[in-house]
Amino acid sequence: MRALLLTVVVSSLAGPANAVEPMSQPSPHPDIPVGTKLTAYVGPRFLTGEAMVPEAKAVLVDETGRVRALLKREPPAGSYPTVKLPGALAVPGLHDAHLHVQGIGQARAQVQLLGSTTPAEVKKRVAAFAAEHKDAAAVRGRGWDQSLFPGATWPNAGDLEGATDKPALLSRVDGHAAWANKAMLTLAGITKDTRDPPGGKIHRDDKGEPTGILIDNAIDLAEQKLPAPTDADLARWLLAGLEACADGGLTAVTDQGMSRAAVRVLSKLDDEGKLPTRVFVYLDGAEAGALDLLGARAPTERLAFLGTKLYADGAMGSRGAALLAPYSDEPKNSGLLLTDPKVLLERVRAVHKKGFAAAVHAIGDRGNRVVLDAFDKSPAPAGARDRIEHAQLVNPRDFARFAKRGVIASMQPTHATSDMRWAEQRVGKERLVGAYAWRTMLKDGVALAFGSDAPVEDERPALGIYAALSRQDADAKPPGGFMPEERLTQTETLRAFAAGSAYAVGQEQHLGALTPGMKFDVSLFSDDAASATDRGDASAWLRTKPVGVVIGGALRSPKPSR
């Protein structure tokens, strides 16, 4: 497995046949049968991941959308039907290993709170949204982060007073905390007498009254009182999310924790040929009946269901990630286990019994250890690959356990550059050595798959590539990078966003490189950021723009609004 990951750099998607009619030509390569219909793709510089031909000027693709040959120079005019691709750089189709399609689309229909720096600014945005959407039964929003507020203090329900008289529920940027106004607390029946649910916490003032901040499973107390989305809502959000991913330069995505209702709608969209990217899905493993869907629908060129998404703990930003020792900046708090370890093991065993994989959210060092313990007691069945989602803080004793059991580390580079403002405050300098440790994972032989966790972070993969290369923010801070010893090379980063993600979903024989025989999927960029990075300017990935994706030989250009 490790040898494979060291030689592959690209990933791919299948799609409709290209409009250009392939031409039957004498074989340009002894392995291509005479008479094979081929189309030449030219234009940008192709990074291939192919050991013998690491870059190419042209790619020959057969009528099934698979790579047949890599050419070091463009073929003579008239040799083959030719498709000229836009942009200066084509990299193996980038595949986000962890995001939430519905959340991306839904966020575009809610109050946008990313970047807000005061509770007053959030209140202003909520008020403007409520005034514009007078028919909304409730106000939803996402993206606030109390670490950006003065004093990094938690907001409260009173801070939203006067913005709207309707219930308002605003998710923190990581989705592991929510901020409710007084109308929402009343609708949910959350009072001084309401007990904290297992795996959740209600913030309270000195008198025991709820402040309006709900952590992890406590959010469900409010969520369950809001109206359920219709199929039309789900279809609109899913398509909007997938189109944003394709426009951002992704050829494939892995959705983590999809509901049964969304699965039903997504399957219908696939039947109608409307999916703009390849989608791999892990179902919400805590939802009743989720296991019944696994194996009920055969994989297609655009959609496959691979297992269930489970939760071990919460998030570090809201101090809900489960730690082996208390938080350095909150000594009486060691975080939350969202699922009892015995229940987690039962759910892992149940999905394994069905022949599928478990993808388990674990952020804190205790959360990661609990999941590894469960995987030790219930090894994955043949053909299924278990994963730990995030793996943000790992005890040094546990890194080798990932490789020993073949557990994939599904990680998100931009989490490190978002969290670096407060990470050391949360866990202290000594524990930080196991945080966001991509280089350590590779050194220990762990299969690494990269994603974004959008809408928690931006879905555009170029931002994740920059973060992995530099471990700096867009202003090149901190100098030298946050824990720079964990930075990756450009080859390693592209591999984690392509071959690593393909391996994680069992598609390494079809996706993950521009190797002859694999599907022809590439992500296209306006500028050659790869060459600029080789010259020492990784920030070129922040400046380049996605100009299209090729999926199984078919070019898709971004919408003008992107």
Local confidence band at 3 (pLDDT 50, 70, 90 cut-offs) = very low
Backbone φ and ψ of 496, nearest 5° = -65, -30
In angstroms and rounded to an integer, the radius of gyration of the C-alpha atoms of the chain is 24
Tell me what pLDDT residue 19 has.
Answer: 36
Residue 307 has pLDDT above 90, yes or no: yes
Question: What mean pLDDT is predicted for residues 127-135?
Answer: 89
Q: Which two tokens stand for residue 206?
A: 């000195």
Angle (nearest 5°) at CA 481 between 476 and 482:
125
- C-alpha–C-alpha distance, residues 338 and 311, integer Å: 6
Tell me what pLDDT residue 20 has.
Answer: 45
Residue 532 has pLDDT above 80, yes or no: yes
**Quick one: angle between helices 341-353 and 365-377, nearest 10?**
40
Question: What mean pLDDT is predicted for residues 158-184?
Answer: 94
With H, G, I as helix, E, B as strand and everything else as coil, classify residue 205.
coil
Range with the poorest average pLDDT among 23-32, 304-313, 317-326, 351-360: 23-32
Question: What mean pLDDT is predicted for residues 450-468?
Answer: 97
Tell me what pLDDT residue 137 has.
Answer: 82
CATH 3.30.160.270 fits 108-223, yes or no: no
Residue 549 has pLDDT above 50, yes or no: yes
Residue 407 has pLDDT above 70, yes or no: yes
Domains of the chain, by residue range, sit at: 108-223
Q: What is the DSSP letter of 146?
A: G
- C-alpha–C-alpha distance, residues 322 and 358, integer Å: 19
Question: What mean pLDDT is predicted for residues 472-486?
Answer: 97
Closest CA to 524 of 493, 494, 555: 555
Residue 352 has pLDDT above 60, yes or no: yes
Tell me what pLDDT residue 561 has.
Answer: 56
Question: What mean pLDDT is predicted for residues 316-332?
Answer: 96
Backbone φ and ψ of 288, nearest 5° = -60, 135
Tell me what pLDDT residue 17 has.
Answer: 31
Question: What mean pLDDT is predicted for residues 344-368?
Answer: 98
Tell me what pLDDT residue 25 has.
Answer: 54
Average pLDDT for the chain: 92
Residue 474 has pLDDT above 60, yes or no: yes
Cis amide bond preceding 197, omega within 30: no
Asked if 180 and 214 touch (Cβ cutoff 8 Å), the reply is yes
Question: What mean pLDDT is predicted for residues 70-96?
Answer: 96
Buried b (16+ CB within 10 A) or exposed e, 351-385: bbebebbbbbbbbbbbbbbbbbebbeebebeeebb
Share of the chain above pLDDT 90, in %: 87
Tell me what pLDDT residue 13 has.
Answer: 30
Tell me what pLDDT residue 16 has.
Answer: 32
Closest CA to 386 of 459, 285, 286, 267: 285
- C-alpha–C-alpha distance, residues 521 and 78, integer Å: 24
**Quick one: angle between helices 260-271 and 231-247, nearest 10?**
70
Distances (CA, A) of 332 to 86, 109, 335: 56, 38, 9
Asked if 149 and 117 touch (Cβ cutoff 8 Å), the reply is yes
Tell me what pLDDT residue 136 has.
Answer: 81
Share of the chain above pLDDT 70, in %: 94
If you count them, how many residues does the chain have? 562
Range with the poorest average pLDDT among 148-152, 225-229, 390-394: 225-229
Question: What mean pLDDT is predicted for residues 474-500?
Answer: 97
Q: How many CB atoms lie within 10 A of CB 41?
A: 27
Question: What mean pLDDT is predicted for residues 171-175?
Answer: 90
